[in-house]
Chain A
Amino acid sequence: MNSTPNKKYRIILTGIILVIMLILAIGIGSVTLTPLETLKTLFGHGEAMSHTIVWDLRVPRVLIAAIVGVNLAISGALLQSVMRNPLADPGLTGVSSGASVAVLLIMLVLPNLGNWIPLAALGGGIIAVTIVYALAWKKNGISPVRIILAGVAVNAIFGGITGLLSILYSDKLPSALQWMNGSLSGKGMGDVTSLLPYSMVGWIFALFCIRSANLLALGEKVAVNLGQNTTTIRVLLSFVAVYLAAISVAIVGLLGFVGLVVPHMARLIVGSNYRLLMPMSMVLGAVVLLIADTIGRSLFAPLDIPAGIVMAMVGGPYFLYLMRKGDM
């Protein structure tokens, strides 16, 4: 048995890895900077050109990757607790596709409502999660199998709408295509400043969810026995999860597997107590998505492979490996 302090160090260690990764990732690209040059530039002592590259291109991109990674990891960790299902994540439950249909609708059909994209994403996510609950809820609680079935159905419906929209509005599609694939390219400081404050609100709420997530993990009956109002908790936790997934989808589009795989990896490292699992998922989510995006933009440079594609190609097999190992 590993003691709690020992596990806390693992979170801190992962945090240090995150900082190192951020510095390395800022240095990687068509113009490569050594970590020392990167640090110099970050603190305002670099050359003018590297200053532009770092602050206008690289910093926004790595920050978006880290923030979105945190958001999706929290979202998955919360949904896994609420639905008592290891497969629950914003992707498989249809939350992401619900949000993305709403965003696509605005991008293609109502482009002058661009300011409403985050709110629309939230609305789409809530609709999706409500349908999943309605289908998966039975008298004695949520049935894990029905969640997956409901998620498949919801994803199919929203996938159909996405397909329909992209045919009807094929002329406007190219602008939306990068976004649809979960790409982090072309993000500027404006995206960071619009995403970060909203995300931080979500992170704070997520930390307040830790206790409830632990109690729900004991099972519906036990949570009620301990005086919890399980319906209220479920709604609150789901809302935080959907909120974080939706604001991320609004900025970077569909990015699968982060919400699914990261909480699992975190569970292997620190166990299933959310007091450790939540912070670990947050830090690890940032690391994982940052690595995925950095691989995507440097592997076939100058081609920019969307992080969503990298996550699917690496995350999918890793997920199969986890299943084979019997950890879920």
Chain B
Amino acid sequence: MLRINELSITIEQQQIIKGLSFVIQPGEIVSIIGPNGSGKSTALKAISRMISPGENTVFIEGMDLLHLKSKEISQRMSVLFQSNDSPTDLTVEELIEYGRTPHKKWYERLNDEDYDMIDWAIEKTNLVTYRKRQVASLSGGEAQRAWIAMSLAQRPKILLLDEPTTYLDIAHQLQLLELIHSVNRELGMTIVMVLHDLNQASIYSDKICVIHEGQMVKYGTSDEVMTKELLRQVYKVDCDIDRHFKHSKPRINLIGIAE
């Protein structure tokens, strides 16, 4: 579905990403983790073409990202950013309608099928009662759901999320991750997200990509990635790892900074 091949990004003579390569299968949830400044967000920006990845580095369904038109990419892939600002009087419904843009020619209006998708996205994100509200008047968690609904209305095969839970409280974090999980399971949408919380990454991901100082340290399942040795090497912390009683995935208990 998505293949990253020797991706390197240099910004102002500083190499942020060095030779990143990995393959994401259709329908997988992949989390990219790493310490602050490791380059994980830059990697996501490159994959989502917000910064140019360079030729022959990012392939969607076998096609080079740079050879596709922006619109063709947007029909297959959607990105959700950490924070967004919208015109102050934009309503939830109007925002979500914009999600249909990639599927319309410039002169086409929305039809019944589009409105069905919009309604579906609104219901899926639990925003029915917020439909006519202004996005700017919503709380952080609600606004984030509205932006996700826009991405869902876009009906992409791949959804990229840049630290989607960062500004949310724990209840909204869980709600959001459950939403992403259910979209993945129901529609087979491939998910790639940058996450800060290692336990969330462990629970919700099929694969985890660990980036440290611009390079990939490890790419594998939660069990393969979440080891004491790796966390000490990458995050410089000591921890204990047991299993989450519900999800039976590795759970990290932090002990302290490594000597």
Contacts and interface: CB of A to CB of B under 8 A. Distances in A.
A272 B98 contact: no
A218 interface: yes
Contacts of A218: 84, 86-87, 98
Given A211-B106, A215-B101, A273-B94, A226 B154 contact: yes
A1 B132 CA distance: 8
Contact of B99 (A1, A208, A226, A273): A226
Contact of A219 (B71, B85, B106): B85
A45 interface: no
A227 B70 contact: yes
B50 A215 contact: no
Interface string A210-248: 010011011101101111110000000000000000000
B121 interface: no
Contact of A215 (B72, B79, B88, B98): B98
Given A1-B134, A227-B73, A227-B102, 10 more contacts: A215-B98, A215-B101, A218-B87, A219-B84, A224-B49, A225-B74, A227-B74, A228-B70, A228-B71, A272-B89
Given A272-B87, A272-B90, A224 B99 contact: no
Interface of A: 1, 208, 211, 214-215, 217-219, 221-222, 224-229, 271-273
Interface of B: 48-50, 69-75, 78-79, 81, 84-91, 94, 98-99, 101-102, 106, 132, 134, 154
Contacts of A217: 87
- Which 8 pairs across A and B sit closest by C-beta, in order of nearness? A227-B74, A227-B71, A227-B102, A272-B87, A226-B101, A271-B89, A225-B79, A227-B70
17 contacts: A1-B91, A1-B134, A208-B106, A215-B98, A217-B87, A218-B87, A218-B98, A219-B85, A219-B86, A222-B81, A222-B98, A224-B50, A226-B98, A226-B101, A226-B102, A227-B69, A228-B101
Contacts of A219: 84-86
A219 B90 CA distance: 13
Contacts of A224: 49-50, 70
B70 A229 contact: yes
A46 to B, nearest CB: 45
Contacts of B85: 219
Nearest to B85: A219
Nearest to A228: B70
Contacts of A227: 69-75, 101-102
B99 to A, nearest CB: 7
Given A272-B87, A272-B90, A221 B81 contact: yes
Interface centre among A219, A224, A227 (most CB of B within 10 A): A227
Nearest to B160: A225
A271 B69 CA distance: 32
Contacts of B50: 221, 224
Nearest to B72: A227
A272 B88 contact: yes
A214 B74 CA distance: 17
Nearest to A232: B70
B172 to A, nearest CB: 21
Nearest to B151: A225
Nearest to B156: A225
Nearest to B95: A218
A221 B51 CA distance: 10
B78 A225 contact: yes
Contacts of B79: 221, 225
B255 to A, nearest CB: 39
Nearest to A225: B79
Contacts of A229: 70
Contacts of A272: 87-90
Nearest to B49: A224
Contacts of A271: 89
A122 to B, nearest CB: 25
Nearest to A1: B132
Nearest to A217: B87
Nearest to A229: B70
Contacts of B89: 271-273
A226 B150 CA distance: 10
